[in-house]
Amino acid sequence: MTSGFATVSGTVLAAYISFGAEASHLITASVMSAPAALCYSKLTYPETEEVIATKESIQLLKSEYSSALDAASKGAAMALELVLGITANLIAFISLIFFLNGILSWLGFLVGYDGDSVWTIEQAVGYVFMPISFIMGVPWDESEMVGKLIGIKTVVNEFAAFKEMGKMVLTKRTKMIATYAICGFSNPGSIGIMISALSVLMPKKRSAITSTVFRAFIAGEIVCFMTACIAALLIPEDSL
């Protein structure tokens, strides 16, 4: 789960590139984040029990399908269940974000806030990520913009974050660091997708999935930050 939150799929890279992101940084970010996710997930959820399974004890299960036609039919039914579950969870999590944004806007109206933009969760989270952006190597005068990008990626999705980054005027180094920091699927919608997909594949493990998915979400977010820090450390400014 951590690896899923810390990386992106190849099918969406073209969209990110169209927004101005460097293809080399996107691919490198996913390659770096995959092993980092494995290591960090072991830190956040260490194995405390001795593994007793060996290659000799693993038995190949006999197929439960009577024929290829039976397998295709049941596979189609399972795929439909998976798609419906993902759709329902996406609607639920995205609706929750819009609901919370509506509450923040209403609270702003109560206190007389009449700014150019309404209060949103991604805006508030962006301010929280400002010092983290600075620690990753972003100059302080650009930390607010990078923090905003991370906030959008965390609350909405990385697609919206890359789209917003394409509109910003950032230095090459800052843009590179931001690309590594937001190159991951750690957002509420992906939590719903993860729960639905794994619950259909492993229905008996649903309670374990739901109890650890948020921890995996946080771990995936931190892995993206670690990858950005390593990139900022290893890539000199004059090479961009």
| 100, amino acid identity | L
pLDDT digits (tens, 9 = 90+) for 170-191: 999 999 999 999 999 888 888 8
Q: Sign of torsion, CA 129 161 174 233?
A: positive
Q: Tally the residues of the chain.
A: 240
pLDDT digits (tens, 9 = 90+) for 127-170: 899 999 999 999 999 999 999 999 989 988 888 899 889 888 89
- Ordered by start, the domain boundaries in the chain are 2-45+91-239
Q: pLDDT grade, residue 219 (50/70/90)? A: very high
CA–CA gap between residue 102 and residue 116 (Å, rounded): 16
Per-residue CA distances from 117 to 104, 226, 235 (Å): 12, 31, 36
Q: pLDDT band at residue 236, thresholds of 50, 70 and 90? A: confident
- Are the CB atoms for 159 and 9 separated by under 8 Å? no
Residue-wise pLDDT tens digits, 101-114: 888 888 877 877 76
The yes-or-no verdict on residue 77 having pLDDT over 70 is: yes
Q: pTM of the predicted model, to two decimals?
A: 0.82
DSSP secondary structure code for residue 116 in this structure: S
